[in-house]
Amino acid sequence: MARISRQRPSRPKVAATVAVAIVAILLPFAMNAFQLTTAVFVVIAAIGALGLGVLTGYAGQISLGHAFFLAIGAYTAAVLGGNDHLSAAIWLPAAGLVAALCGALVGPAALRLRGLYLAIVTIGLVFIGQHVWFNVAAISGGPGGRSFPAVAFGSFDFSVGNQLTIGGLVIDHNGLYYYLALIILALAMLYVWNLSRSRPGRAMQAVREREIAASVMGVNLARTKVSAFAISSFLAGISGALYASFLSFVTPDQWSLLLSVQYVAAIIVGGIGTVWGPVLGSIVIFALPPVLQSLVPQTASGGVPIDDITSIVYGLLIIVFFVFEPGGVVGLARRLQRVWEGARARQEPMHKHDGEEPSQRQEQSMEERVPTWAK
């Protein structure tokens, strides 16, 4: 009985998570400014990617509209923090909540629309959003863009030049954003993990697999889809607000379809339907362009813009990656894990369960076990 009812993750997984956490905490001290900036972008993006992972990975709702919700979060932060000068303790959660509300309003579309139809409506959201951002200068600053508030808690703010000294350690502007984003990411991952092992996460996955059967089992499709959109948009809003705040200046053309596509790429590359997938995928997708840019020497490009070269390589890597590892990074990790387990199994004999023969256990369970609630 105890063998079956295992709820805690296995020891190797816990150890690996702790190791990653330690590395993540120590990372800023091993990196130069450029690398740390990239890391900040990656962690902030991972928050948003996690959200998309809930919507598309767990609930199976295809969305290319993530850029729209990122923008909503960013502009909420701008209006509350920049125009009204409220503290980050207010505008950051508000960014998430306003975006979540918008997500909940879009959610019902997923009840009527499926698959590609839903996907293209979400593309429409991005374009309509961009139309609004380009035209309503009061919110977005118009095509020229606007500045975004730095994170500030009370009198201490994260803007460039400020730093925090703890013990002998100095944490600069990048480091502050990094740790803030890291904490939020950790909380978000915990939330999503809890979701996946409890009733609502299961319901989402059932809806992804077979809607009709799920509803016959009692799953409320409307509630499940709307909450998936709301959760996804909440995380997108927070991610968008942090992103804009870190960049401190954003033009509306940045909330583009390409940005949505990058998030979709991140969750697919990382592995659909997992907690770590979106995070690993974000590392690949969002760290790659800056890394590529730093690798290509400025002089060797022969007049061709660096952006184009890095984009070409980026696109080729996506193609090559998916041709050879369709399961994404998590698929790759699972493949390696199976190889590892296969090697170990060949070394140990099969052990019996609790000293009984398997067939004995089977007979007993068929005849004698009647569910207690049925008596």
User: Within positions 2 to 61, which residues make up the interface with other proteins, using CB under 8 A?
Assistant: 4-7
Q: In the set 304, 336, 339, 345, which binds other proteins (CB under 8 A)?
A: 304
> What minimum distance in Å lies between the beta carbon of 181 and other proteins?
19
Supply φ then ψ for residue 146, to 5 degrees. Answer: -150, 170
Whether the Cβ atoms of residue 176 and residue 164 lie closer than 8 Å to each other: yes
Q: In the set 172, 322, 332, 333, which binds other proteins (CB under 8 A)?
A: 322
- Spatial CA neighbour of 58 closest among 191, 217, 218: 191
Closer by beta carbon to other proteins, 175 or else 271:
271
Give the footprint of other proteins on residues 79-138 (CB under 8 A).
112-114, 116-117, 119-121, 123-124, 127-128, 131-132, 134-135
**Rounded Cα distance, 42 and 270, in Å:** 13
Please, which residues have CB within 8 angstroms of residue 51's CB and are 6 or more apart in sequence?
66, 69, 188, 231, 232, 233, 234, 235, 236, 239
Give the footprint of other proteins on residues 194-213 (CB under 8 A).
194-195, 197-203, 205-206, 208-210, 212-213
Q: In the set 218, 297, 349, 355, which binds other proteins (CB under 8 A)?
A: 218
Q: In the set 72, 181, 214, 329, which binds other proteins (CB under 8 A)?
A: 214
User: How far apart, in Å, do the first and last CA atoms of the chain sit?
Assistant: 20
Is residue 344 within the footprint of other proteins (CB under 8 A)?
no
**Rounded Cα distance, 110 and 224, in Å:** 10
Q: In the set 77, 176, 185, 219, which binds other proteins (CB under 8 A)?
A: 219
String of DSSP letters for 221-269 = HHHHHHHHHHHHHHHHHHHHHHHHHHHSEE-GGGSSHHHHHHHHHHHHH
Name the token pair of 209. Answer: 């697999």
Q: In the set 87, 162, 215, 251, which binds other proteins (CB under 8 A)?
A: 215
Name the token pair of 319. Answer: 């193609």
String of DSSP letters for 45-98 = HHHHHHHHIIIIIIS------HHHHHHHHHHHHIIIIIIS---HHHHHHHHHHH
Mark out the alpha helices in the chain (DSSP H runs): 11-26, 33-52, 66-77, 88-106, 109-112, 115-135, 137-140, 173-196, 199-209, 211-216, 221-247, 257-270, 276-295, 306-324, 328-345, 358-368
Closer by beta carbon to other proteins, 149 or else 271:
271
Q: In the set 316, 336, 339, 345, which binds other proteins (CB under 8 A)?
A: 316
Closer by beta carbon to other proteins, 60 or else 73:
60
- Dihedral, 92, 93, 94, 96 alpha carbons, nearest 10: 100
**Rounded Cα distance, 201 and 192, in Å:** 8
Closer by beta carbon to other proteins, 84 or else 308:
308
Q: In the set 314, 332, 333, 334, which binds other proteins (CB under 8 A)?
A: 314
Residue 293: strand, helix, or coil: helix
Closer by beta carbon to other proteins, 88 or else 272:
272
Total binding residues for other proteins by CB under 8 A?
86
Q: What is the per-residue binding string for other proteins in 222-261, x denoting contact by CB under 8 A?
A: -x---x--xx-------------------------x---x
Considering only the stretches 89-97, 152-160, 162-170, 357-365, report the one whose residues sit in contact with other proteins under the rule CB under 8 A. Answer: 357-365
> What minimum distance in Å lies between the beta carbon of 315 and other proteins?
3
> What minimum distance in Å lies between the beta carbon of 193 and other proteins?
8
**Rounded Cα distance, 122 and 41, in Å:** 24
Closer by beta carbon to other proteins, 112 or else 346:
112
Q: What is the per-residue binding string for other proteins in 262-281, x denoting contact by CB under 8 A?
A: --xx--xx--xx--------
> What minimum distance in Å lies between the beta carbon of 79 and other proteins?
19
Q: Is 249 exposed, middle or buried (0-12, 13-18, 19+ CB in 10 A)?
A: exposed
> What minimum distance in Å lies between the beta carbon of 56 and other proteins?
9
